[in-house]
Amino acid sequence: MRNVFFRREVLSWALYDWANSAFATTVMAGFFPVFFSAISQDISAERSQFWFNITLAGSSLLVAIVAPLLGAISDRGGSRKKFLVTFAAAGILMTAALAWVHAGQWWVGLLLYGLGTIGFSGANIFYDSMLVDVAKRDEFDLVSAFGYGAGYVGGGLLFAVNVLMAQKPELFGLSGSIAAVKASFVTVALWWGLFTIPLLKYVRETPTADAAPPMRAVREGMRQLLDTAREIRNLRVLLLFLVGYWLYIDGVNTVIKTAVFFGDRVLNLPQASLVTALLVTQFVAFPAALAFGWLGSRIGAKRAILIGLAVYIAALVYAWRWLSDAGDFYNLAIAIGLVQGGVQSLSRSLYARLIPPSKTAEFFGFFNMVGKFAAIIGPTLMALTPVLIGGATERDSIMAVSILFLVGGALLWRVNVEAGEAAAKLLDDGGKKA
């Protein structure tokens, strides 16, 4: 099984996670929140936080709305790689364009960031679906984890360089930290584009039987989407898991995307402390994800995920009540890093147990679509809490996110994995309702 990592198509596929994770780390989690804070000094902290969170929610919502249909259309037309290239190219161009945004142009920065996020998220739909093109069914978990690991390492390495650029701009011939941040956006675009090339060159998309021309692909894609949704409705355990997953992974994504902005505008922590904390999270997450995989094999994926969600809730309570300085922020970074990768990877593995074995690609496509709706509720809750609740502060908005972990975890607790596996097998064997 170890040799699977050395297959050219597997390495090429994993390198795309290595490539685009630079956007997730340097841009989404790291520098854009700080950059946006710098270019939006002419508006209040409350207003800047509101528009920042609304942009996060809006871009995620747009992708979520179109993603299921695009996924189904690409399946019927045999064009997943073309869709991936289109979205990735858009994300790369928008990321590079951020380097030319200046102080006071905060709305331009938000627009480019929103479009870049759409490109990033949209491309991931088709990247995830190409797992079936590079791995056999019994290799899915291994290859999928390899991709996650490559993403953590690749994104973390470039982010480390970008942090050095921001902290020591003179070493790179840059005039200051903001110039370094802008240069970092360009490096992300180049990194993303360069390491996408192996996937384009060496990963072959599995030919679609009777591949449909564009208009027929649209019609049949819509029909396929409705058929998948109907089958998921009949798999009650799977549906329960999907609703729970949607809620708690929204919380996970919200924490990832808003932590630095919160630390900067609410806690007034120095930039160096914020980015260092993100580096800590990135490099803790890789070995912790592997350890969580082992824990899941010992006590079950569901129980391991619930442990991870409990850690998230404890971290939010700590941030709400006691978080005050950089040392506290580092402690939280370690805590989040210990569970972040584990919750993500084990959720995917648990889902794999609950779907019909003969329809893995189709159902994993839908799983990915549900994930795109994540990071909508959390940022919206954070944006609206100070607006709707009298006397509430930006710090209080943290606890609104804990609702997602509590409700999502409660639904996950009710998931009967054994019954879900049996129902999926029954549907696979006879097409009967579970």
For 30-49, write each residue's pLDDT tens digit. Answer: 788 888 888 888 777 778 87
Q: Residue 246: inside a domain, yes or no?
A: yes
Give the Cα separation of 343 and 141 in Å (integer).
Answer: 14
- Position 211 pLDDT exceeds 60: no
Nearest to 196 by CA among 64, 93, 345: 93
At what angle are helices 45-77 and 106-129 packed, to 10 degrees?
30
Q: Are 27 and 158 in contact (CB under 8 A)?
A: no
Query: Of residues 413 and 127, which shows the higher confidence score?
Result: 413
- Can you give the pLDDT at residue 220? 64
Mean pLDDT (whole number) for 241-255: 93
Could you read off the pLDDT of 304-316 as tens digits, one per residue? 999 999 999 999 9
Average pLDDT across the chain, whole number: 83
Give the Cα separation of 140 and 4 in Å (integer).
Answer: 11
Query: What distances in angstroms separate CA 188 from CA 56, 89, 126, 232, one per listed residue?
Result: 19, 12, 20, 38
What are the φ/ψ torsions at residue 361 (nearest 5 degrees)?
-60, -45
75 Cβ contact partners less than 8 Å away, ≥ 6 residues apart:
129, 208, 221, 224, 361, 362, 365
- Position 340 pLDDT exceeds 50: yes
Give the Cα separation of 81 and 225 in Å (integer).
Answer: 19
What string of H, E and C letters represents the secondary structure of 102-162?
CCCCHHHHHHHHHHHHHHHHHHHHHHHHCHHHHCCHHHHHHHHHHHHHHHHHHHHHHHHHH
What are the φ/ψ torsions at residue 80 (nearest 5 degrees)?
-60, -40
% of the chain exceeding 90 in pLDDT: 31
Looking at the structure of the chain, the number of domains it has is: 1
Segments forming the whole domain that contains residue 19: 7-199+211-430
- Position 290 pLDDT exceeds 60: yes
Mean pLDDT (whole number) for 372-394: 78
CATH of residue 42's domain is: 1.20.1250.20
- Position 434 pLDDT exceeds 60: no
User: Band of the pLDDT at 360, cuts 50, 70, 90?
Assistant: low
Q: Residue 206: inside a domain, yes or no?
A: no
Structural tokens at position 429: 């064997």
What are the φ/ψ torsions at residue 207 (nearest 5 degrees)?
-60, 135
Query: What distances in angstroms separate CA 144 from CA 110, 141, 164, 167, one per listed residue?
Result: 32, 5, 30, 34
The maximal CA–CA distance of the chain, rounded, in angstroms, is 67
User: Band of the pLDDT at 29, cuts 50, 70, 90?
Assistant: confident
Kindly report the pTM of this predicted structure.
0.74
Q: Residue 306: inside a domain, yes or no?
A: yes
- Position 1 pLDDT exceeds 50: no
Q: Residue 86: inside a domain, yes or no?
A: yes
Q: Are 244 and 108 in contact (CB under 8 A)?
A: no
Give the Cα separation of 142 and 125 in Å (integer).
Answer: 19
Torsion of CA 258, 29, 180, 273, to 10 degrees: 70
- Position 433 pLDDT exceeds 50: no
- Position 357 pLDDT exceeds 70: no
Give the Cα separation of 100 and 86 in Å (integer).
Answer: 22
Label residue 42 exposed, middle or buried (CB < 10 Å: 0-12, 13-18, 19+). Answer: exposed
- Can you give the pLDDT at residue 213? 59
% of the chain exceeding 70 in pLDDT: 87
Could you read off the pLDDT of 118-171 as tens digits, one per residue? 999 888 888 877 877 887 766 766 677 778 778 888 998 999 999 899 889 999
Give the Cα separation of 292 and 346 in Å (integer).
Answer: 8
Structural tokens at position 311: 């850690």
- Can you give the pLDDT at residue 335? 92
Q: Residue 156: inside a domain, yes or no?
A: yes
Give the Cα separation of 190 and 195 in Å (integer).
Answer: 9
- Position 77 pLDDT exceeds 60: no
Give the Cα separation of 210 and 222 in Å (integer).
Answer: 16
Q: Which residue has the tokens 């994540």?
A: 374
- Can you give the pLDDT at residue 250? 92
* Amino acid at residue number 32: F
